[in-house]
Copies of this chain bind each other. A is one copy, B any other.
Amino acid sequence: MSAEVFLDARVEVVLGGFRADVALARGRGVTALLGPNGSGKTTVLKALAGLHTLTSGHVRVAGRAWAGDVRHLPPEERAVGMVLADPLLFPHLSLLDNVAFGPRSRGMPRASARARAAEELGRVGLADLAGRRPSEVSQGQAQRAALARALATDPELLLLDEPLSALDPQTRSATRADLAHRLREFPGATVLVTHDPLDALTLADQLVFVEDGRVVQAGTPTEIIARPRSRYVAGVVGLNLVHGTLAPGTPATLALPGGGELVVAEVPAGAGAGDELLATINPAAVTLYTAPPEASARNLWQLDVAAVTVTGQRARVRLHGIPGTDLVAEVTLGAVAQLGVSPGARLWAGVKATEVAVYPA
Contacts and interface: CB of A to CB of B under 8 A. Distances in A.
Interface string A304-319: 0011111111111010
Q: Which range holds the interface residue count of chain A?
A: 35 or more
A315 B197 CA distance: 11
A259 interface: no
A284 interface: yes
Nearest to A337: B201
Nearest to A168: B37
A306 B196 CA distance: 18
Given A169-B309, A198-B308, A307-B170, A330 B314 contact: yes
A220 interface: no
A344 interface: yes
Given A238-B333, A333-B238, A173 B343 contact: yes
A312 B283 CA distance: 8
A342 B177 contact: yes
B283 A313 contact: yes
A197 B310 contact: yes
Contacts of A196: 310
Contacts of A318: 170, 173
Among all A-B residue pairs, the 6 with the closest Cβ atoms: A173-B307, A177-B343, A238-B312, A238-B313, A311-B311, A198-B310
